[in-house]
Structure 1
Amino acid sequence: MADSIETEVSRVNEAVKHARSQKKPNLREVARQYDVNYRLLWRRVNCNMKPKTEVKPSNYTLNVYQEKALGYWIKTLDASFLPPTPAIIEHWANATLARSKTPDRTVGKDWVYRYIRRFPDTEMKLRRQKIIDSKRLGITDVAELYHWYDLLAKALEGVNPRNIYNFDETGFQIGQGRTRRVFSSQSGKASDLPGTEHGERVTVAECIAADGWRMQPLVIFKGQHHMESWYNHPIPDEWITATAEKGYIIDKLAVRWMEEFDRETRTRLKNGEQRILLVDGCGSHLTFEFLDTATEAGIKIFGFPPNRTNYLQPLDGKPFQAYKAYFKTQNNLISQWGGGLLASKSSFLNDLYQFRDKALTPRMCRNAFSERGIYPVDAKKVCESLENALPPIPDIEIDLSGEKTPSPEPDLLSSSLENTPSKTFKDVEKRQKHLSPLLCRPDLTPKEKKTLAQVLDEQEFYFNALANTTATIREMAAIRAPREKKTTRRRVMGLSDDSVIRVKDAKRSIAERKAKEDKKDERRAVKELEKKYGVPTTPRITEAQREAEAEPLYSESGEVIGFYDKF
């Protein structure tokens, strides 16, 4: 039986050691003694040649330290339930080459598989990760969830809830409403509400903490340029907007978001504390740059098991469900009261501002972590409900007596009988209370009393009808206002090149552009007047300049009684 490669290499090394210990060794005798090839032994002793196992091939793309660092990242992701794909590993390798002053050099298409074959950890192998229906959950999957919760408890041990975060994105389809029930006299189905099921998609990235804190959202529009019409609304200055080709979050936007997350949450840290960020297995969350930025900032990334984020991720629960419900309801209101003006990209930020505080309340954010068993860590909140998802087989009882079960008596205290009419205005009630004694006066005829009673009843009716009409007009005006503004195709200029900006920077750029145009229009008007009348004209004085240059007028007692306008 032939010896293994390790045994043959060991014999050659012993033969070389034995030969070098002698002054004039007989290499042929030593080769026969250790049963090795004479020519190989001669080259090793006389030419000082090293074995191939000790020589690093010169054609390796990454050096020893780069491959070691890459292996560390792979193990870190796998331990966080975010195993990388070969495509992600290839992207990391190319990013490593770009940082090592060889940006034009990339790994080959088969490099990843050769690297995996020589990976030092023999337990790390390419394994199949299937996509299954989230409702198909077996006993093995539940056991894995219990194991995941055990690891989560160790990771969150001693961590304050203000340092436990969850980051995820959700998509909104502009103009998409929801089916609802309406009160109508039309027979059959009510008239359809205008809307669209194929509107442009906008992605909103949100981050919440276990103590109810919310980060400023990142709104990603589909396109390449920021338009001025997006910011012509009263929206918070600290919101972050970006553009992407398809309207989804991409790698560079995820890295930029991580930088903003580090900046906003660093002030919430105390000495020696660490931040834990829970993320799903989205590709933009697994890039080398995203994880490297988190590591440098001292942020620990902890992932969810694949295909289980709908059970485990806090944002995927009630926060995003309420988000979508408020958004679709808002679109229904726009369709109903907007007079044919549907939701648009220009008014999306304004619409988002209207319902975001209602959907992502601090209480709902805290409950999202609690209901998913994240904080405090409690695996039973999720696992037990999944184990009991299949109802037990009921015991069937057959009644052979032939007697019919008596129908239950009607509940006379049902909710339909308990409903009371809504309250009216206090002033109307006071007038009715003040005038009602007139109905008891003996000098009034029955006809006069009947007329007075009708007036009192109609007074309440008209007051309520007027209030409803006023409220409807205000609602229509509030919904139409941001959509009736004249939109332009003007871009926001003078901003950074990474497509990510803050709302306050966009507003500042727009204000600077308008100020320059106003000065230009003023100079043009002055030139036209000079051309028409042939004499220089006095430049236009603003109200601020007029107030600043005005001299006060004093009375004999020394009080200011007015101002003298020099202009």
Structure 2
Amino acid sequence: MKSAIRDIRGGAKLRPTAALYGIPVMTLSDYSKRDSYDLSFRMGRKPVFSREQETEIRDQILLLASMFYGLTPQSLKAAVFTYAESNKIKNPFNKDKKEAGKDWMYGFLKRNPEISIRRPEPTSVNRILAFNATEVQIFFDNLSSTYDKYRFRPRRIFNVDETGINAVHKPGKILAPKGIKQVGSATSWERGKNITICCCISAKGQYVPPLIIYPRLRMHPSLEQGGPNGSSYRCNKSGWMTEELFFAWLVHFAEHTKPSLEDPVL
């Protein structure tokens, strides 16, 4: 039937095609007029949900992920079970655990390549609330008006950002005796300690030496050895950027870029 309908939709005549495949003419005529008739071939067991239902599930997953409330694989399997039971959809899901199986989930991911299992980056509520269309538009409006006013040249346009570097390296695999429950490898600390580095570069490639912030209460001269020339070194208990340290970075930035009323910096 599918081959006959494919031929009809390709321009073949109805009666010769019906005779060729041994299908009654009126039956073939009826099926070929159905726009929704699915010509795709499926192997294996029939999916639990229709294409429309899986599309609805997919869209909800993408929506929740965009709102920073993505589903875990476990919560997806539980939600799908509830969805199937509430809509009286026949399914082979686990009634005791009240969740769909791994086979269904991996099949769903295969049928919907827009979705994959990812490890999310922790994002604070403050950052989420600040990152919306209105706030972003305000930023670009301010950027545009400032640029139109001063007409900065590329060498005077700078981008600044901070990053955290873990001071504890992750040991690679080693050869060790069998039967030992735990194998160790020497590191500077057992738990991670982040060092914050504030970096800055212009649109033309001019590099401002970084500000390096150590997670400690007091500085020591040895901590200032071996860094990039002109770097600034600070410390605080957390090792994170603070208002006071960012002001210190602005002073450091001004010393290297020499902004003035005649030659301003963005």
Report if TM-score (shorter chain) is over 0.5.
no
TM-score scaled by length of structure 1: 0.20
Which has the larger share of helix? 1
**Highest Rg: 1 or 2?**
1
